[in-house]
Every structure is written in structure tokens, then in C-alpha cells.
Amino acid sequence: MSFFAQFLIFPSFLLLCVIASYARWIRAALFLDSLVVGTWTGLVATIVYDGVRFVVQRTHPFGYNGFVPILMYGSWITNKPTNSGIAVIAGWAYHFWTGTSFGLMYALAVGRRNWLFGVLWGVFLELCTLGLFPMFIRISSQLDFIVISMVGHVAYGATLGLLVQRYAKW
């Protein structure tokens, strides 16, 4: 994961900045608008995702903490323990980067369609994690994991879909 962060995440961010600059230079307003709207709506949707998961975990006595994978990402990126400060920062930065990136992808691919496409996008992302996470993370309660994660992804997708539908240009 540290290799992935060094050679894919940071270069992809720089490439995104170059693409945005080029879009502005050639006056590709619709494309640039999708970049901007997708970025901020992805960030807002990620905050909603975390907030919903936090509330669900606090109001229902699930045995699964949905925030542990974020700390594990940070540990994988930095090769430090999950409780080290740098691993925590790296994990949360990666979490928000991916949430923002998925929002950007959605805005570019779907645009101003009905917000329910956002819910489908969130469910699709959840289905992808259902197949991947058990390979890397020991999950003590599959049902808790699925419920918390699905509720969060539906909230993410609904928020993303509503915001992109409202603020993206045609």
C-alpha cells in the first residue's frame, strides 16, 4: 500500500491538477464544472457517510467498528502501527481522497441524472468492498459489517446524487 500511495495516489492528484488546468485553458467549462462539483460533493458525501456510520454504531450495539479499516489503511501506507499519529493521518487522508475520487468519477460519468443513480453508485461501491474487505481484514461479525457499511454507502450515494443533480451544469 505504501508503494500504491507513492506511485499512484500522489501522481494521480498531480495529473488531476494538470487536467483541470488544461480544461480551464481550453475553456472546457462543462468538464471543469464536473471536476469541481464532483470533488466537493464527494468530500461532503464522505463526511455524511462517516457521520451516518458513527450514529448507526452508537445507537445500535454492533460488534464491528467501521472506522478500523481507515486506521489499517494508514498503517499499510506508512508501515507504522495503527495507533501512531502519522498512520492515523495517512489513513484519514486516504479515506477522504478515495471518497472524493469516487465523487469525482460519479460526476464525470453520470452528471445531472436523477439522484437515485447516486444511491446505485453507493450500493455498487459497497458491493465492491464486500468482496474485498474480508480478504484483508478479519471481520468478527459479517452481519454488523454489512449493515453498517451498506447504510453508510447508501447515505454517501444519496448525498452525492442529490448534490450533483442540484449543482452540476448540463
Rounded Cα distance, 47 and 17, in Å: 23
Count H helices and E strands in the chain, helices first.
7, 0
In degrees, rounded to 5, the angle at the alpha carbon of residue 105 between the alpha carbons of residues 72 and 109 is 155
Half-sphere exposure of 123 (CA within 13 A, CB side): 6
Mean pLDDT of 127-146: 74
With 80 as the cut, is the pLDDT of residue 63 above it? no
Residue 31 binned pLDDT confidence (cut-offs 50, 70, 90): confident
- In three-state form (DSSP H/G/I as H, E/B as E, the rest C), the secondary structure along 14-25 is HHHHHHHHHHHH
Residue-wise pLDDT tens digits, 137-151: 676 677 777 888 899
